[in-house]
Amino acid sequence: MHHIFKFSFVISILLLSFTIVLAKPAAKGLAWNEYEPLNISSKSMEFNPEDDKILFKTDVTIKQADFLLTADSMVVKKQEGDTFSLMASGNVAIVHGLWQAGSDVLEYNSKDKVFLFSGHPKVVHNKNIIKGKLIRYYSQTNKIEVEEPETTMYINDLKKNSLNK
């Protein structure tokens, strides 16, 4: 009986560990899941090891599950530690679940986890449309800040959890 208890206890701990590993937070809003790899493709790529910079040119695509980012070009640069910065330019578009965004330029820093859309930025969630001079999207809090906003909002769609889908 003692051996059965030990075996059950070990199995329970293993199952708990397995569940914890699988329970990584899912990405919400416009962001990708930082715990999963991003698949990046383009027509050409240049790598400069001296400044830890990769330049992707022509038809750039980032995919991860239901997250998609496209742009004409993109520069990814390693920052301190495990952080990086990203600048996508030309026909930038993001689609993630019910979210869509577009602009001429997108800047992202993995340390701050803030997406900065400039050049005719637009964010759409369901039927709600946000435009402005500059849009900041804080992926950790799902908060959006807009400079010189022009919005179309449907009040019935702004339930507390509707923006988290």
Give me the residues of the chain with pLDDT under 70, please: 1-28, 153-165
**How far is the C-alpha of 119 from the C-alpha of 14, rounded, in Å?**
50
For the structural domain made of 27-164, what CATH number should be given? 2.60.450.10
Where do the domains of the chain lie?
27-164
pLDDT for 32: 74
pLDDT for 126: 82
The predicted model scores a pTM of 0.75
